[in-house]
């Protein structure tokens, strides 16, 4: 049957010599690096036999990964788009899924064959955009388009799964600190009652539910000048977290400098700003792609940022310049993708990626969804390898030499350029979807990847037809649906979706019909926006940055307002970031 049982390896004192932490003198505002991290070293007393077993185990897993994830199953229970997926920490027993049907589902991966959710949480009154489990999986938090964060008690469900424990329950607490959609949530690595939330209202809020541990509302809030799109706690350093926003800024921050009395705050808590601006020789200006989400790997040594109109980009925690970009230039076997074929793009929806390394002692895989109806998984080389392969170009060389087809990162027009390694051959392309894939999650200990997006189904992918938690998976179709040119029938379907009722809120809408209309709507958007050039869409420069950013914001705001005033699907309003063609039609 090909069953494999793996154990999850968490960072331990044996494979971390010293922790890479940033300590800040809040009086002089100077920074001192006092610790540095090295990874994947064995304890000196570890036996040669243990090392041999470890090496053999890694080799066996590598062979499975090299085969990709050719088997899959549809997990069907949602009634509309599934926006976000998250596995519970450590053992990955629970998969939480949520989207546009205003429900949060829990799938129990301790079952022998996962086919339906083990529990349903109710309470959201808008599309759910973010989920996260607390440090010990006692709680699950959700947030979304209703501006509210809900807290669910997962500890009461310990017996759910193998008996008749399936059911539903509501939230135990709600938080109403935001005035716009909650785009991201991230829980403290050690405390169940502490989490951060980031919203399109520009607020970053620290929530502390411990007795006597909370700050006042003002002390626990940072007001930013731009809408936040992501926030992620560092998995080891409890005071460190990262944020990203619609202006493309990605920052590493310290909670001790971000929150609390004004006398303790410094520079918005920012301790590092990552280089996210793009430079191309043929353009006289830089581009600042919107950073739509970010995530750390399990030990916090790597940070991945998902950019709109560009590629997922890998950073080292302690290095502001990118080390790698993940593209789909080649198929997994190394064959170049022809110009007539679609490959990885991200131009239309909010996407979230994930690091993973089931059964390994490090996260050396990264997965992300794409507009070409697939998800992609890349093998990430070690950081030291990436650092050695990154190219640095001085400003003088950039302007005096030719750099055809080169896109580099630059902190300013007159600064050095950095060209990260392009990981152009993915480890796997995951098929099975009929439309855009938005969310990817990798199980922490089993060889499973789950993906979701515009459709109501979740796809569970596996390298084998069976595992300890699923049985009799079928081969995934080797091809995906082709995006056809628009005809009159497609135009009519698009208009019905644009002006019709939300498929999950009106029982008279047939499920298949509602999904076909949603897919048609996003097909229309892809035809208009799918091949947009980042240097055209996002212009940054000394003379254009402020005007360009203001224009982007006004277009998006007008589009959302117009959609709502016409009674259009809220799924579209919350999925699409910029779509000038539709608001022009309206």
pLDDT (tens, 9 = 90+) of the chain, 586 residues, equals 444 334 333 433 333 332 334 433 333 333 333 233 333 334 445 566 767 776 777 777 777 777 789 999 999 999 999 999 999 999 899 999 999 999 999 999 999 999 999 999 999 999 999 999 999 999 999 999 999 999 999 998 865 444 344 678 889 999 999 999 999 999 999 999 999 999 999 999 999 988 676 678 889 999 999 999 999 999 999 999 999 999 999 999 999 999 999 999 999 999 999 999 999 999 989 999 999 999 999 999 999 999 999 999 999 999 999 999 999 999 999 999 999 899 999 998 899 999 998 877 789 999 999 999 999 999 999 999 999 999 999 999 999 999 988 999 999 999 999 999 999 999 999 999 999 999 999 999 999 999 999 999 999 999 999 999 999 999 999 999 988 787 777 677 667 666 666 554 444 445 565 678 888 888 888 888 777 889 988 888 644 444 444 444 433 443 444 344 333 333 344 444 433 333 334 4
Through-space distance between the first and last CA atoms of the chain, rounded to whole angstroms: 55
What SS3 class is residue 493? helix
Torsional class of 567: left (φ above 0), alpha (ψ -120 to 50), beta (otherwise): left
**What is the distance between the alpha carbons of residues 465 and 2, in angstroms, rounded to a whole number?**
7
Contacts of 263 (CB under 8 A, 6+ apart): none
- Whether residue 474 contacts residue 72, with contact meaning beta carbons closer than 8 Å, is answered with yes
The two structure tokens encoding residue 194: 């502490």
Q: What pLDDT, on a 0 to 100 scale, did the predictor assign at position 442? A: 96
Distances (CA, A) of 208 to 170, 175, 318: 21, 11, 28
Q: Please name the residue that has the structure tokens 């939330």.
A: 197
**What's the pTM?**
0.84
Asked if 426 contacts 433 with a C-beta cutoff of 8 angstroms, the reply is no
Token readout for 17 is: 């010599």
Element (H, E) at 169: strand 167-169
Q: Are 366 and 312 in contact (CB under 8 A)?
A: yes
Q: How far is CA 462 from the centre of its chain?
A: 20
**Sheet of strand 270-274: strand arrangement:** 228-233, 240-245, 250-254, 270-274
Residue 281, phi then psi, degrees to nearest 5: -60, -35
């Amino acid at each position: 049957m090909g069953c494999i049982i793996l154990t999850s390896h968490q960072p331990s004192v044996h494979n971390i010599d010293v922790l890479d932490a940033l300590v800040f003198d809040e009086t002089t505002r100077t920074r001192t690096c006092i610790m540095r991290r090295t990874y994947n070293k064995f304890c000196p007393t570890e036996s040669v036999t243990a090392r041999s077993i470890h090496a053999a185990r890694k080799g066996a897993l590598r062979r499975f990964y090299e085969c990709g994830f050719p088997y899959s199953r549809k997990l069907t229970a949602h009634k509309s788009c599934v926006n976000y997926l998250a596995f519970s920490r450590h053992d990955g027993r629970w998969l939480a899924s949520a989207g546009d049907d205003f429900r949060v589902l829990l799938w129990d991966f301790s079952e022998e064959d996962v086919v339906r959710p083990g529990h349903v949480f109710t309470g959201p009154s808008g599309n759910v955009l973010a989920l996260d489990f607390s440090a010990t999986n006692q709680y699950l938090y959700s947030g979304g388009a209703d501006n509210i964060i809900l807290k669910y008690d997962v500890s009461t469900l310990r017996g759910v799964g193998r008996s008749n424990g399936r059911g539903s329950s509501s939230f135990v607490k709600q938080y109403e600190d935001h005035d716009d959609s909650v785009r991201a949530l991230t829980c403290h690595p050690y405390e169940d009652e502490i989490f951060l939330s980031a919203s399109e209202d520009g607020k970053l809020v620290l929530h502390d539910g411990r007795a006597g541990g909370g700050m006042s509302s003002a002390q626990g809030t940072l007001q930013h000048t731009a809408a936040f799109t992501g926030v992620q706690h560092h998995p080891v350093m409890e005071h460190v977290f990262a944020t990203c926003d619609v202006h493309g800024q990605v920052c590493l921050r310290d909670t001790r400098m971000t929150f609390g009395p004004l006398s303790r705050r410094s520079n918005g808590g920012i301790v590092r700003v990552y280089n996210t601006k793009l430079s191309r020789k043929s353009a006289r200006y830089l581009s600042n792609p919107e950073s739509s989400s970010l995530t750390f790997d399990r030990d916090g040594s790597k940070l991945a940022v998902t950019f709109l109109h560009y590629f997922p980009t890998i950073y080292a925690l302690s290095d502001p310049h990118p080390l790698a970009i993940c593209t789909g230039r080649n198929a997994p076997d190394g064959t170049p993708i022809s110009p007539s074929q679609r490959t990885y793009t991200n131009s239309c929806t909010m996407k979230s990626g994930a690091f993973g390394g089931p059964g390994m002692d490090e996260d050396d895989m990264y997965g992300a969804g794409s507009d070409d109806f697939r998800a992609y998984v890349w093998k990430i080389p070690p950081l030291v390898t990436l650092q050695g392969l990154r190219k640095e170009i001085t400003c003088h060389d950039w302007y005096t030499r030719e750099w055809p087809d080169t896109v580099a990162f630059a902190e300013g027009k007159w600064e050095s350029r950095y060209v990260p390694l392009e990981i152009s051959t993915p480890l796997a392309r995951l098929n099975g979807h009929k439309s855009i894939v938005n969310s990817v999650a990798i199980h922490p200990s089993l060889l499973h990847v789950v993906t979701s997006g515009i459709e109501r189904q979740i796809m569970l992918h596996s390298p084998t037809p069976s595992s300890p938690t699923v049985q009799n998976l079928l081969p995934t179709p080797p091809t995906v649906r082709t995006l056809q040119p628009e005809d009159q029938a497609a135009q009519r379907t698009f208009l019905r979706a644009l002006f019709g009722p939300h498929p999950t809120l009106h029982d008279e809408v047939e499920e298949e019909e509602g999904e076909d209309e949603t897919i048609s709507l996003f097909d229309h958007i892809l035809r208009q926006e799918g091949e947009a050039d980042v240097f055209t869409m996002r212009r940054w420069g000394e003379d254009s940055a402020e005007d360009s950013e203001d224009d982007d914001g006004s277009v998006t705001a007008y589009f959302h307002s117009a959609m709502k005033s016409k009674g259009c699907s809220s799924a579209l309003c919350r999925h699409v970031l910029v779509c000038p063609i539709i608001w022009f039609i309206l």
